[in-house]
Structure 1
Amino acid sequence: MEIGGTIVSSLEYSGKISLVIFMAKCPLRCPYCHNAEILEGGDETTLKKIFKIIDDSLDYIDAVVVSGGEPLVQIDDLLEILKYSKSLGLKTKVDTSACYPQRLNKILKYIDYLAIDIKAPFDRYEEVIGAAIGKKVKKSMEIANQDSNTFLECRTTYVPGLLDHEDIKQISHEIKCDLYTLQQFRNKNVLDESLENVETPNPLELKTLANEIKQFLSQVKVKTAEFGEESI
């Protein structure tokens, strides 16, 4: 398997200390991707080595988070990591673009927390990220909602110029999840260098937008560099 590294974090799984494993490779090329260095591949490792990292971290972690890249590209290794983590009594979380609904279906019972990146209204995916996967993302969301044991977060990175307020409002009507997070775009380390000139959205703008859509959703948060995660 190929990974981009591991870290221990208190931010990636709310209320828990987690070991975060960044699995390499992704079929998408989102212009604002901040992990572009692992889109094509990463460092070769083995499941045995990953299991040892998990074992060595047991004294101070509550969860294992698998992010990317797109973890479901390496579905067999992902499945084994989730099974092993659950066997140790750890909570599990997966971050995904949700472009592989059938693969998600195979691993959902081993996931406590699923975070799906909603990159645009479903009918605007190709325009925004260059990949017409909106129907697949919607299907993944529907699959996740069938499992009451999995907490589902949908999250959107608000990139001015790629998305506008009407897009976010449309998304709020299209999704069903336990939590919707509106994330602040940061113009550092992005795949499309032209986005380095796009101004980072003001936190107040994101809070205002979140307040406008919260009536349609179970729970809404805003995530910014200035203030971290804030419930609206």
Structure 2
Amino acid sequence: MKIGSMTVSTLDYPGRVSLVIFTGGCNFRCPYCHNPELIDGGEDVDVDEVISKISEYSEFVDALVISGGEPLLQADEVEAVLGHARGLGLKTKLDTNGSYPGKLMRLIPLLDYVAVDVKAPPGIYRRLAGAGPDGVMESLRILRDSGVMVECRTTFVPGLLEPDDILDIARSIECDVYVLQQFSNRTVLDERLREVDPPSPGELREIALKVREYFRKVMIRTREFGDEEI
């Protein structure tokens, strides 16, 4: 199993302390990616070793989060890891770009929470992600009736997305909570984006207010204030 890193977090699973496993490998090429080292990276770790680590940390955490990269590139290994976490009584969460709906459907019985990155409105998806939106939209349709908590999140990058694009996204998806994330230029795949200033919390609040009618819960996520419900 290709692993980038493991860390304990109080932020990645709302209201819980979680062990977060960042998997290596991704099929998207988002220019603003904040984990570019994971796109073609990661260390080969035996699944049994990963499972052993989860058991070790289960005394200190109450949730497991599988992030990336794109975890569903390694769906068999992820399934084994999630199954073990469930057996230990841990809550489970998957962070995914949503491009593998069939694999996601297979894992739903092992999941409590799924966060799907929705990169852009369908019309410009390929330009931002390097891949089309069909798989993502199908994943969201599958999740809609699954009983799993569903978070959709979009990173707002000035110059790549406009406020009206966020409205178009809101009109095209359904989820339990929508999160508008602040772009960070600290670590990016496309070095040219280092020259782009992150949007201010105020800018994100203004955009989030315009889409609040489409969701039960809307939040912004910024470096300055963390998660803030709008």
TM norm. shorter chain > 0.5: yes
Aligned partner of 2:144 in structure 1 is: 145
Q: 2:195 aligns with which of 187, 197, 204?
A: 197
Letter paired with 1:193: E
Query: Alpha-carbon deviations, 1:8-56, whole Å to 9, x = none?
Result: 0000000000000011001111101111111113111111111111111
**Matches of 2:84 and 2:196, distance apart in 1:** 42
The CA distance in 2 between the partners of 1:68 and 1:77, in whole Å, is 14
Secondary structure at the aligned position of 1:8 is classed as strand
- CA shift, 1:117, in A, is 0.1
2:88 equivalent to 1:88 = yes
Q: CA separation in 2, counterparts of 1:67 and 1:128?
A: 20
Q: Which amino acid aligns with 2:224?
A: E
For 2:216 and 2:109, locate their aligned partners in 1 and report how far apart those are by CA, in whole Å.
23
CA deviation map 1:107-138 (0-9, x unaligned): 01111000000000122111222222x11100
Alpha-carbon distance in 2 for matches of 1:52, 1:136: 33
1:61-80 equivalent positions in 2, closer than 5 A: 61-80=61-80
How many Å separate the matches in 1 of 2:48 and 2:214?
Answer: 45
CA distance in 2 between partners of 1:123 and 1:164 (Å): 13
Select the residue among 194, 217, 222 that pairs with 2:215: 217
Tell me, what secondary structure is at the counterpart of 2:103?
Answer: helix
Matches of 2:123 and 2:150, distance apart in 1: 21
Greater alpha carbon shift after TM alignment, 43-52 vs 186-195: 43-52
TM-score, length basis structure 1: 0.98
Residue 186 of structure 1 aligns to which amino acid in structure 2? S
The answer to whether residue 165 in structure 2 is matched with residue 185 in structure 1 is no
Q: Give % identity.
A: 44
2:160 maps to 162
How many angstroms does 1:146 deviate by? Answer: 1.7
The CA distance in 2 between the partners of 1:131 and 1:161, in whole Å, is: 19
Between the aligned partners of 1:93 and 1:160, the Cα distance in structure 2 is 29
What is the rounded CA distance, in whole Å, between the counterparts of 1:203 and 1:172 in structure 2? Answer: 19
Q: Distance in 1 between matches of 2:34 and 2:214?
A: 29
- Contiguous gaps of at least 5 residues in structure 2: none
Summarize deviations over 1:132-189 as a string: whole Å, max 9, x none: 2x111000000011211x1000000000111000000111111100000000000011
| Counterpart for residue 135 of structure 2 | 136
CA distance in 2, matches of 1:228, 1:35: 19
Matches within 5 A, 1:19-34: 19-34=19-34
Query: Any gaps of 5 or more consecutive residues in structure 1?
Result: none
Q: What is the Cα-based RMSD across aligned positions, in Å?
A: 0.7
Point out 4+ residue stretches in structure 1 off by more than 6 angstroms: none
The separation in 2 between residues aligned to 1:38 and 1:185, in whole angstroms, is: 18
TM-score by length of 2: 0.98
